[in-house]
Amino acid sequence: MGASLDGFIARENGDISWLDDANKKVTHGEDFGFNSFLESVDQIIMGRKTFEAVISFDQWPYKDTRLIVLTSKNLQIPEKLNKTVTASNISSPEQLFKELDGQSINHIYVDGGIAIHDFLSAGLVDEITVTIVPILIGKGKSFSGLLPKDLSLQHLKTIVYDFGFVQNKCKINK
Give the model confidence (pLDDT) of 93-146 as tens digits.
Answer: 999 999 998 898 999 999 998 999 999 999 999 999 999 999 999 999 998 877
Tell me, yes or no, whether 144 lies in a domain.
yes
pTM for the whole thing? Answer: 0.91
Tell me, yes or no, whether 124 lies in a domain.
yes
For residue 157, give the CATH number of its domain: 3.40.430.10
C-alpha distances in Å from residue 47, one per residue of 19, 35, 52, 114? 19, 20, 9, 7
Tell me, yes or no, whether 157 lies in a domain.
yes
pLDDT-above-70 percentage for the chain: 100
Q: 138: closest CA among 29, 25, 6, 2?
A: 6
What pLDDT is attached to residue 57? Answer: 87
| SS3 category, 166 | strand
Number of structural domains (the chain) is 1
Tell me, yes or no, whether 26 lies in a domain.
no
User: What does the alpha-carbon distance between residue 10 and residue 94 come to, in Å, rounded to a whole number?
Assistant: 26
Tell me, yes or no, whether 25 lies in a domain.
no
Q: What sections of the chain are H helices per DSSP?
A: 17-23, 34-39, 48-54, 93-100, 113-121
Burial of 104 (0-12, 13-18, 19+ CB in 10 A): exposed
**Structural domain span for residue 103:** 2-20+31-172
User: What does the alpha-carbon distance between residue 164 and residue 167 come to, in Å, rounded to a whole number?
Assistant: 10
Which pLDDT tens digit goes with each residue over 76-99? 999 999 999 999 998 799 999 999
